[in-house]
Amino acid sequence: MLPVSGKIIEKKQEGKSMRDWKNKVARVKALKSSELGGAMVKIRSVVLNDAGGALVEMAISSTLLLSMFFAVFEVGLGSYASHYVADAAREGARYAIVRGSISCSNTPNLSNCGASTDTIAAYVKGLPYPTLNPANMTVNVSYLTGTSSVASGSMVTTWATCSSGTCNQPGNMVNVQVTYSFPLLIPFAPRKTISLSSTSQMVVQQ
């Protein structure tokens, strides 16, 4: 009987060991599945969490909004600069037509009478316009000589560049061209320079 009972006890112990091992395997599997589930829950919570999203959206929208604001501001300054460039050309022509070849005898007390092209250009650059930088301005002054002819029963005047003689005499035309390099500065955009130009022509009076 003893051998039989010994075998039975041995089988019971072997069965108990098998059950213990299976229980351990089951617990390990359950632990792994719970850890994986916990990790998935954490990842899902991080993905779905919108904390700080408003700050990112505000940063992006502010960048676009400020860029548009500065662009409108720069376009406004460019419009003012274009207006001032046109006015500078007209002022230069007005200054030149009363300072021709006989202005010193006609108006002895006139400042800069008989002004040269360089004097006229310096006067234009010295005009106090608030948005214009004289360093970015180029002024070209030239004179034109008129030749009158009759065509189809009417008097026609043809103007050509005066290259010799007294070019600033009365009857000739002064041509003042002002060119200004306007720097366009917009945040987050490449820097560009816009060329603004205006020309004014008037007939010399004295």
Q: State pLDDT tens for residues 53-84.
A: 677 778 788 888 888 888 888 888 999 999 99
**Higher pLDDT among residues 54 and 204, named by residue:** 204
For 30, the domain range is 2-44
Do 99 and 150 lie in a common domain? Answer: yes
- The Cα 133–Cα 196 span in angstroms is 13
Q: Distance between alpha carbon 6 and the CA centroid of its chain, in Å?
A: 97
Do 40 and 74 lie in a common domain? Answer: no
Taking Cα atoms as reference points, which of 65, 87, 60, 76 lies closest to residue 185? 76
How does pLDDT run across 157-191, given as a tens digit for each residue?
899 999 889 999 999 999 999 999 999 888 777 88
Q: Is residue 152 part of a domain?
A: yes
**pLDDT at 12 exceeding the cut of 80:** no
Q: What percent of the chain has pLDDT over 90?
A: 50
- With tokens 């990790």, the residue in question is 39
Do 100 and 22 lie in a common domain? Answer: no
- State the pLDDT confidence band at 36, using cuts at 50, 70 and 90: low
Give me the number of domains the chain comprises.
2
Do 118 and 29 lie in a common domain? Answer: no
- What is the rounded average pLDDT for all residues in the chain? 83
What pLDDT shows up at residue 125? 96
Sequence-distant (6+) residues with CB within 8 A of 100 are 114, 168, 169, 170, 172, 204, 205, 206
Do 84 and 11 lie in a common domain? Answer: no
> Phi, psi (5° rounding) for residue 67?
-60, -45
* pTM for this entry: 0.68
Q: Is residue 62 part of a domain?
A: no
Radius of gyration from C-alpha coordinates of the chain: 45
Do 11 and 100 lie in a common domain? Answer: no
Do 115 and 150 lie in a common domain? Answer: yes
Do 38 and 78 lie in a common domain? Answer: no
Burial environment of residue 122 by CB neighbours within 10 A (0 to 12, 13 to 18, 19 or more): middle
